[in-house]
Every structure is written in structure tokens, then in C-alpha cells.
Amino acid sequence: MKRIGILTAGGDTPALNATIAGAVVRANQRKVEVYGLIKGFSSLQNPQVPHVHLNPLFSAIPELDATRGGTLLGASRNYVDARDLVAIEQMSGRIRRLGLDGLVCIGGDGTLNGLQPLAEVLPTVLAPKTIDNDLGLNYENEPDEWALESTPEPPGYRYRRMPSRTKFDLDHMVNYATPGFATSVYVSVGGVQRIRTTAESHRRIAIVEVMGRHSGYIALGSAFGQPDLVLVPEHPLDIDRLEVRVRELYELQKNVVIVCGEGVVGGDGEILGARKATHDPSGNLILTGAAEALRGLLVERLGDDYFRRYRRADTAQAAIFTRKIGHTQRGGRPILFDRFYAAMLGGKAVDMLLEGQNNALATLQYRRDRGFYVDSYSGNAFRDRWGLIHARYMHPSFYDPELMQPSRLGIEYLLPIFTNAIGHDDVEHMRQTTFDSGNLLRPYHSINTDVNKRIRYLE
């Protein structure tokens, strides 16, 4: 292979540039040119195919900085529709004209689903990314547990998860953790810790919403910030139990901090934060506010008198507040764990192409006796029998629904990732740059401005 393409698809993470950098380092060693495609698959859907040569003379362009969040290539949630043969033929022609011999897609489960049609026109592999940590398998035969059942209203089919017959073992997880996840937990933990002291001062109940879609990994990891209660989508909310715990804690310490994953479901199985059911361009449900929905339930159950009795607040509305960590958990400098393994996975993806792999992905594996290492899997290992890849749910055994906290096994899962996840340079970087006087004197200089000067077009 002489020249490969690379793109970043789906929602961004702080570790995308690190993956690109890892891929480019490896490509330089193996004397392969790397073209970065601008804004994910939309580059190939555009007749002009905007792209950037990332390693002229086999050295990385200076804009490629592994410590910088986001992606210098830009990202989009555009996907390739396998049924649109005309569009695929057009993309195939553009790939040929660009002279690409292979493609690395940096993405999550949606990207792995979406790259399949491209894998039929050129060797294509995935380097994983997602803050949600939902690209992977809890065990190898997990995709076989999906069943399709018919629905009368509206007529059609829907997926149902059949009960598992597999004994879970941490060592058997496929893709233990995904670049982006650690940094997003790091940001969420900081948010939880900061909310705590203000909740303490004002005798408040804080509900902190974290991302993760339908997987509770970020909520689980946020337990490092010592919230009193953690709610994850994998365990339907037991509102009676929650109310009891909130009262106990509030009476003891005059404040409560609850972390709530955005995909948390109520006792009826309905997603709390998706009252307005809308979808993004790749078909994902847009989650609008689990924390607000939860706040409504607690306001109703606790009532104003509960807070007035001890002069802690005038109303339940005033005492219970919500904050979303929001997109801060997806941006900024990646911490050491993410940078290091993102780069390894980028390098691995290039090796996979050069070994002749196609429709496959690089994975980050963990074993108790070996630690972390990179490996590769066929994309089909992730597909159910109808060919669809499902987002990985956090294994329910990682959570203790009684305590509303990570279980022992959940803690065992988290420790290898987060022990030493922050590097000395991460701390030093904060010390040196946060109050750099130059920040006040210079306007922000966007990476997009520099990369723009390097963009080339086919036509």
C-alpha cells in the first residue's frame, strides 16, 4: 500500500487527534502516505473530496497534535447508506481518483455499521473512539443474544435482548475501553466534585447529568467524584428506593449529589430524558434531559414542606437543581490514558491494513495477568445475525442497585483504566497554560484556520 485515507466520523472525543497521530507515525515508519478526509464520510460524498496530506515527505504536518482535543479533520454524523448503490459507486470512483489503497475510519458502533459498504470497494478498518465506551462486547457471543420480534403497531420489527447464558468475566471483554472515555470521566468527576461543595453550602440536592447514551459507563466512572448516588440506564429507576435514599442522605448531611446517566429509564422501561423523541442524522435518539425529568419526580415526592420544616429552602424547586456536564466532557486535552492507547490503536489500524485486513477493527484488550494490549477483530464478530452492530451496554453486574453505586466488579473494572490515567504532563500543562497571560492578549486561534490552508480538492 502506498497511500491510505483516514477520517473521523460520529461525535468527536478528546482523543481523535491522538489516534490520527498514532496512525501517521506508523505510516511514516512504513512509508505510506496518509490523506485525511475532511468531516468524516461527508468528504467522500462531496464530488470535490476535501482532503489534507497529513505526512508530506513522511513527516507529520505540525497541526497534528496528539494532545489537542477534537479532530483537525473535522467530524460529521454522515453515514454511507448501503442501499444507495449509486452513491457508493460515486464514492468508489473518488477513492480511485484519490489513489487510496485503504481507509482507516476512526469511529464508534455507528461508523462500524457504516463502513461495511466501503469495505466492499477498498480495504477499510476501524480505529475505535467514543466517550460512551459502548463500542465493544461484554463477551464474544453477545451479538447472538439479539432477537428480532414483530410489532403490530406500527407494523414492523424491533430488537429484543434475550437473557444471557454467559458467565461474565472481565478478561473476556472485547475492547475493554475506548479512547475518549477516560477523559470524559475525568471531566465529569471534576464537575461532580465542584457541584458538591456548593450543594453543601446551600443545603441543596444536585442532579448531575452525564452523557453516554444508553450505556452507563460514564456515570459509573463518575463515582470517582464520590456522588452519593449513581443512576445508570442498565438498571431501571426504582423511584421509591431513590426517594428513601435521598431523604436518609439529606437528613444526615443536608445535601445530596446524584449522578444520572442521560439514558436512564424509568420503572416502565421508558427513557426518562426522551420525552420529545427526535433523532440525529445517524438515527440516534436525541436525549434531552434525564436530570430534569428526575428533578420533577423528586420535587413532587419531597414537596416544599420537607425543605421549609428545617429552613433549608423555601421550595423543593429551589432546593433541587440540575447540571449537565454536557459537551465539556467531549472536549479539550485528552488525559494520558486516552492519548497513549488512542495512538497505539491508530498505529494498529495502519498495520492491519498493511497486513491485508478488511472490515475489521483494532481493539484495546485487558487481561489481569497481562495488562492492556492492542489486538484486532473482524467487524463481523460485532454483528448480530442480521448484520447490525449494537451499542454495548455496561454489564449490569458492574452496578449495585441497592447501594446505587458501582459494585465490587464495577470497581474492579474501573481501576485498571483510571489508576495512573493522568500523566504528570497533564498536571503541568494545566499549571502552565490556564492563566498564561497570553490568553488575555491573543485571540483564540482555531486549528480549522490552519488546516484550511492545506485542504486540497479533487475537482
Q: Which residues bind ligand F6P (CB under 6 A)?
A: 11, 130-132, 211-213, 262, 280, 287, 330
Q: H or E element: which one contains 42?
A: helix 42-45
Q: For residues 414 and 391, give the distance between their C-alpha atoms in angstroms, rounded to a whole number.
A: 19
Q: How far is the CB of 208 from ligand F6P (least distance, A)?
A: 14
User: Which residues, in sequence order, are CB contacts of 196 under 8 Å at separation 6+?
Assistant: 206, 225, 226, 227, 255, 257
Q: Closer to ligand F6P at the Cβ: 26 or 129?
A: 129
Pick 212 or 406: Cβ nearer ligand F6P: 212
Instruction: Report the residue number, 328 or 432, with the smaller CB distance to ligand F6P.
Output: 328
In sequence order, the 6+-apart residues with CB closer than 8 A to the CB of 202 are: 255
Q: Which residues of 47-86 are buried (b: 16+ CB within 10 A; e: fewer)?
A: eebbbbebbeeeebbebbbbbbbbbbbbbbbbbbeeeeee
Contact 414, 421 (CB under 8 A): no
Q: Residue 311 Cβ, how far from ligand F6P at the closest point, in Å?
A: 39
Nearer to ligand F6P, 20 or 131 (CB): 131
Q: Which of 185, 316 has the CB closer to ligand F6P?
A: 185
Least separation, in Å, of the C-beta of 11 and ligand F6P?
Answer: 4
Dihedral-angle region of residue 227 (phi above 0 means left; psi in -120 to 50 means alpha; beta otherwise)? beta
Is the CB of 172 or the CB of 323 nearer to ligand F6P? 323
Q: In the complex, what is the shortest distance from the CB of residue 180 to ligand F6P, in angstroms, rounded to a whole number?
A: 8
- Report the residue number, 133 or 357, with the smaller CB distance to ligand F6P: 133
Which three cell numbers mark 320?
433541587
CB of 69 to ligand F6P, least distance (A): 13
Q: Cα 318 to chain center, whole Å? A: 33
Cα–Cα dist 212/191, whole Å: 16
For the CB of residue 233, give the shortest distance to ligand F6P in the complex, in Å: 11
* SS3 category, 291: helix
Q: Which of 458, 387, 392 is nearest to 83 (CA)?
A: 387
Q: State the nearest-atom distance from the C-beta of 213 to ligand F6P, in Å.
A: 5
Query: CA-based diameter of the chain, in Å?
Result: 74
Looking at the DSSP assignment, which residues form a beta bridge with residue 102?
A: 4
- Nearer of residues 135 and 417 to ligand F6P, judged by Cβ: 135
How far is Cα 326 from Cα 324, in angstroms, rounded to an integer?
A: 5
- Rounded to a whole number of angstroms, the minimum distance from the CB of residue 218 to ligand F6P is 7
Least gap, CB of 245 to ligand F6P (angstroms): 26
- Going by C-beta distance under 8 Å and a sequence separation of 6 or more, which residues neighbour residue 3? 32, 33, 34, 35, 98, 99, 100, 101
* Cβ closest to ligand F6P, residue 266 vs residue 326: 326
